[in-house]
Amino acid sequence: MTKIVETTYRVRREPLRTSFSTSLRSINELSVIEFHIKTDDGIEVFGESVETPAITGDTSAAIQSDFDLRLSKALIGKEFEDAASFYRAHIAQIRTTNSAKAAADFALYELQAVVSGKSLKEVLGCLATQVKSDVTIPLTEISEIPTLLAARTEFSIFKVKLGSEDMKTRVNKVQLIREIAGAEAGIRIDPNQAWSVDESITFSEETERLGLGIEYLEQPIAAMNKKGLAQIRKMSGTKIMADEALYTIADLELLHGLNSVDLINIKTLKSGGITPALEIIARAKELGVAFSIGTMMEGDKGILAAILIAGAHRPDYCHDLDAAWWASNTRLRYAKGMVAI
């Protein structure tokens, strides 16, 4: 049986093609942290993570410390059969950043693929050859929107980042996008927790009054305010998505119990890896809660895992998988609003 004998990590820089800005942060490059696993039979695989202090609170220093002090001890000397059972037995209960757990879990699934002689796609049960993705319109001035849309003509669904602008500007931005993109384009709004409950309700009322056709409003208020999401949903005709409010199955069940959401955004770095993300998907299906698969701005390996999960569990939906499109050196291929698998 395969045994893990060594773990190491390193950091590499990945430039973005242009600045990615939201109400929480603005970045021009990624520091991708690779977590490597070596086995006694000569296999070496690695997973990836990135710091997201403004979103998850996970810093690069904390992730690397977790690799050094906790995950190495949890993995070295352990026998490996499959990723999910190994994760549950040796990683799930460790007090580490979810981002560090996710990198280890990515490596474990790659190890499973090598040991089993299968591809990662086969291991994750993905039969799709491509998955549809939206593309982000970052937080920007209204004057820049036509240029941004002109650079995204291959996409038909747009995830629009809004922030602390006044209400008129917010609505005007959406109006302009609708005018340029056309009636058939999808528009999703993501304020990244920047608004109050009242602002969210007012925005929804205004965009509904103008017939702007918003697909959903994603995490407009603080993540901890799950009851506030329920209030917005009750007072609005716009669908509500939870993102930063959804890390665990317990979060999902609370959101569902409060009638707070129409759908949830599942991300492996938030949840702690592929294994817990799949567990959230399974519970969402049981509860009848719709889900979308998303990513952080991260390396190709994490994004590929998300694409494969999306293709395996909701292949006909348009997910939030454009992160690699922003990278200068990605190996993933986007065409006509689809990312190839």
For the ranges 9-23, 112-126, 158-172, 187-201, the lowest mean pLDDT is seen at: 9-23
Q: How far apart are CA 221 and CA 175, in angstroms?
A: 22
Beta-sheet strands, E only, within 203-308: 214-218, 240-242, 263-266, 290-293
Q: Residue 274 is inside which H or E element, if any?
A: helix 274-287
Residue 81 reports pLDDT greater than 90: yes
Kindly tell me the burial class for residue 80, based on how many C-beta atoms sit within 10 Å of its own C-beta (0-12, 13-18, 19 or more).
buried
Residues of 226-245 as b/e, b for ≥16 C-beta within 10 angstroms? bebbbbbbeebebbbbbbbb
Percentage of the residues of the chain whose pLDDT score is greater than 70: 100
Domain with CATH 3.30.390.10 in the chain: 2-118
Name the pTM for this structure. 0.97
pLDDT reported for residue 22: 93
pLDDT, position 123: 98
C-beta separation of 33 from 11 below 8 A:
yes
Domain 2-118 listed as CATH 1.10.357.10: no
Span 174-207, pLDDT tens digits: 999 999 999 999 999 999 999 999 999 999 999 9
| Band (1; pLDDT cuts 50, 70, 90) | confident
CB 296 within 8 A of CB 271: no
Decide: helix, strand or coil at residue 55: coil
Rg (CA), the chain: 20
- Looking at the chain, which residues constitute the CATH 3.20.20.120 domain(s)? 123-340
Q: What is the pLDDT of residue 183?
A: 97
Chain segment 33-76, per-residue pLDDT in tens = 999 999 999 999 999 999 999 999 999 999 999 999 999 999 99
Provide the mean pLDDT of the chain: 97
pLDDT in tens, 88-103: 999 999 999 999 999 9
In the prediction, which pLDDT does 23 show? 87
pLDDT at 86 over 90: yes
Domain formed by 123-340, architecture: Alpha-Beta Barrel (3.20)
Four-residue CA torsion sign, 160, 165, 170, 173 = negative
**What dihedral angle (degrees, nearest 10) is formed by the CA atoms of 19, 22, 25, 28?**
-10
Place of tokens 């999910």: 84
| Percentages of the chain per state (helix, strand, coil), in multiples of 5 | 40, 25, 35
Mean pLDDT for the stretch of residues 237-262: 98
Instruction: Specify the pLDDT at position 157.
Output: 98
